[in-house]
C-alpha cells in the first residue's frame, strides 16, 4: 500500500497539537498539554485568536455556523460534547457514553463520535441519543466527511504507532472499511479543507497537510 502524499509539514503554532478542524475559513487547533484552543490561519499556520475552553479539547468539528468539541474534564478526564459559538460561548450538550469519546465528524445533519478502544464510530441525534454504531475494526485517531463518505484514520497506538487512512460509505447497511494509504506518523485528528486533508503529529509538535496517492 502506498503512503499518503504530504503537501506541507510545518511546526504547529502550539505544543502537543491535538484537535484540528476546518470551518471553511480557518483551522481550529487545541493543545493537549496547555489546555488551550486556537483559531489558526491556514496559509501561515499562525494563531489568530485564542479561546479558553472548559477543559481539555480532544477533538472538534464545524457544524452549520457553530463548532462542536469533545472536552475532557476532571481527574478522570471524563468526556463531554460541547457546542461553541461566539455569541453563546460553550454549551454542554451531552455526556459521551461511559464518559469515553474522542474524535468528531459531521454529515451536515448529525454528529459522529469515535471511541478509541471500542474501535467504533457512533452517530448521534441532536439530543445525544445514539442512532447507530459503525464498527471500524481498529483504533481510531481521526475521521472526517468528504462528499458523503467517512474518511478515518485507523490502526494501533501500541506497541508501535501504525496508522492508515481508510474510507467507508455510511449509507450502506454494513459499511465496508477500505484502507487507502499508510500514514507514516503518529497522527491525531483529521479534517479536510476542500482540497487536502490535515492532521497533527502531536509528538513532534507538527501539523501536516496531505492528499491520497494516485
pLDDT digits 0-9 by tens, 52-92? 999 999 999 999 999 999 999 999 999 999 999 999 999 99
The neighbouring-strand residues paired with 85 are 89
> What's the whole-number mean pLDDT along residues 141-146?
98
pLDDT digits 0-9 by tens, 100-131? 999 999 999 999 999 999 999 999 998 899 99
Structural domain boundaries enclosing 181: 5-211
For residues 107 and 123, give the distance between their C-alpha atoms in angstroms, rounded to a whole number. Answer: 10
Whether the bond into 159 is cis, omega within 30 of 0: yes
Q: CA angle, corner 104, sides to 64 and 190, nearest 5? A: 100
Burial (CB count within 10 angstroms: exposed 0-12, middle 13-18, buried 19+), residue 16: middle
pLDDT digits 0-9 by tens, 165-210? 999 999 999 999 999 999 999 999 999 999 999 999 999 999 999 9
Contact assessment for residue 1 and residue 182, using Cβ atoms and an 8 Å cutoff? yes
Total domain count for the chain? 1
Question: What is Dmax (Cα atoms) for the chain?
Answer: 46
CATH number of the domain encompassing residue 156: 2.120.10.30
- For 83, the grid coordinates are 457546542
Residue 97 banded pLDDT, cuts 50, 70, 90:
very high
Contact assessment for residue 138 and residue 131, using Cβ atoms and an 8 Å cutoff? no
Q: CA angle, corner 33, sides to 85 and 59, nearest 5? A: 40
Contact assessment for residue 181 and residue 1, using Cβ atoms and an 8 Å cutoff? yes
pTM of the model: 0.97
Amino acid at each position: 500500500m502506498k503512503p499518503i502524499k504530504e503537501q506541507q509539514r510545518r511546526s504547529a503554532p502550539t505544543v502537543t497539537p491535538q484537535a484540528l478542524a476546518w470551518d471553511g475559513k480557518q483551522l481550529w487547533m487545541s493543545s493537549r498539554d496547555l489546555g488551550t484552543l486556537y483559531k489558526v490561519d491556514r496559509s501561515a499556520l499562525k494563531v489568530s485568536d485564542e479561546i479558553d475552553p472548559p477543559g481539555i479539547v480532544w477533538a472538534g468539528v464545524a457544524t452549520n455556523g457553530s463548532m462542536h468539541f469533545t472536552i475532557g474534564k476532571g481527574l478522570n478526564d471524563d468526556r463531554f460534547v460541547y457546542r461553541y459559538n461566539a455569541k453563546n460561548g460553550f454549551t454542554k450538550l451531552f455526556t459521551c457514553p461511559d464518559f469515553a469519546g474522542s474524535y468528531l465528524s459531521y454529515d451536515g445533519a448529525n454528529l459522529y463520535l469515535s471511541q478509541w478502544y471500542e474501535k467504533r464510530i457512533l452517530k448521534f441525534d441532536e439530543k445525544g441519543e445514539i442512532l447507530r454504531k459503525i464498527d471500524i475494526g481498529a483504533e481510531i485517531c481521526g475521521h472526517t466527511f468528504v462528499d458523503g463518505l467517512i474518511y478515518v484514520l485507523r490502526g494501533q497506538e501500541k506497541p508501535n504507532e501504525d496508522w492508515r487512512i481508510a474510507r467507508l460509505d455510511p449509507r450502506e447497511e454494513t459499511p465496508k472499511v477500505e484502507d487507502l494509504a499508510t500514514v507514516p506518523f503518529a497522527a491525531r485528528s483529521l479534517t479536510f479543507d476542500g482540497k487536502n486533508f490535515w492532521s497533527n503529529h502531536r509528538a513532534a509538535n507538527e501539523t501536516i497537510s496531505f492528499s491520497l496517492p494516485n
